[in-house]
């Protein structure tokens, strides 16, 4: 793997403000998908060894971010305004994540309480979105999670969601309780 390709991918990732899919990177760099993935691996190891930036797999793509050991200083510098999700919003979000696509009435049935506030809050935060209509009387809106949801929780995809106690999960893939960005 030429170092030029690794440097080029680093440059492309540097200017990306969203997770870049390997296919996008391969097209932009004029590489094959295999070469791209190999170069990304080399880049990841290089960044891991030195510097304040790391390469992570998140929301179906790759993105550069700061290393966690600098979190306090970076946060002090950026002064980010973060609003922790409330308990009720987190409940609604978890239900949507595991049962999507799901209607508001079905969410209420699971929670046993009105969930409009939580749903609207999550829609505003772009953590859930309308994904269609259920073919039942009234054609209620169906909700599902977004790429922003994956990014917010640092997940690569829905298969990284932990199993529920009853064994059900967000999809049929193999499940494990993930540690964020554990080494590939």
Name the site residues for other proteins (rule: CB under 8 A). Answer: 14, 16-18, 56, 63-66, 68, 71, 74-75, 78-82, 84-85, 90-91, 93-95, 97-99, 102, 104-106, 108-114, 116, 133, 137-141, 152-155, 161-162, 164-166, 168, 177-178, 180
What is the DSSP secondary-structure string of 170-184?
SSSS----PPTT---
Rounded to the nearest whole angstrom, what is the least distance from the CB of residue 70 to other proteins in the complex? Answer: 8
Q: Which is nearer to other proteins, 30 or 132 (CB)?
A: 132
What is the DSSP secondary-structure string of 119-130?
HHHHHHTTSEEE
Q: Which is nearer to other proteins, 35 or 157 (CB)?
A: 157
What's the Rg (C-alpha) of the chain?
A: 19
Q: Which is nearer to other proteins, 49 or 82 (CB)?
A: 82
Find out whether 145 and 158 touch, Cβ atoms under 8 Å: yes
Q: Which is nearer to other proteins, 32 or 168 (CB)?
A: 168
Rounded to the nearest whole angstrom, what is the least distance from the CB of residue 66 to other proteins in the complex? Answer: 4
Strand partners, 21: none
Helix, strand, or coil (residue 17): coil
Find out whether 125 and 148 touch, Cβ atoms under 8 Å: yes
Rounded to the nearest whole angstrom, what is the least distance from the CB of residue 41 to other proteins in the complex? Answer: 20
């Amino acid at each position: 793997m030429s170092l030029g390709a690794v440097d080029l991918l680093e440059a492309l990732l540097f200017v990306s403000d969203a997770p870049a899919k390997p296919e996008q990177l391969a097209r932009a760099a004029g590489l094959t998908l295999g070469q791209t993935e190999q170069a990304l691996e080399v880049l990841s190891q290089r960044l891991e060894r030195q510097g304040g930036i790391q390469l992570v797999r998140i929301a179906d793509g790759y993105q550069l971010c700061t290393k966690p050991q600098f979190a306090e200083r970076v946060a002090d510098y950026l002064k980010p305004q973060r609003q922790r999700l409330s308990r009720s919003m987190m409940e609604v979000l978890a239900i949507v994540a595991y049962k999507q696509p799901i209607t508001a009435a079905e969410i209420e049935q699971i929670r046993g309480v009105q969930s409009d506030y939580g749903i609207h809050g999550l829609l505003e935060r772009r953590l859930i979105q309308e994904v269609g209509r259920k073919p039942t009387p009234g054609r209620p809106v169906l909700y599902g999670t977004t790429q922003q949801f994956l990014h917010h929780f640092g997940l690569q995809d829905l298969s990284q969601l932990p199993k529920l106690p009853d064994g059900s999960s967000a999809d049929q893939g193999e499940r494990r309780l993930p540690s964020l960005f554990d080494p590939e």
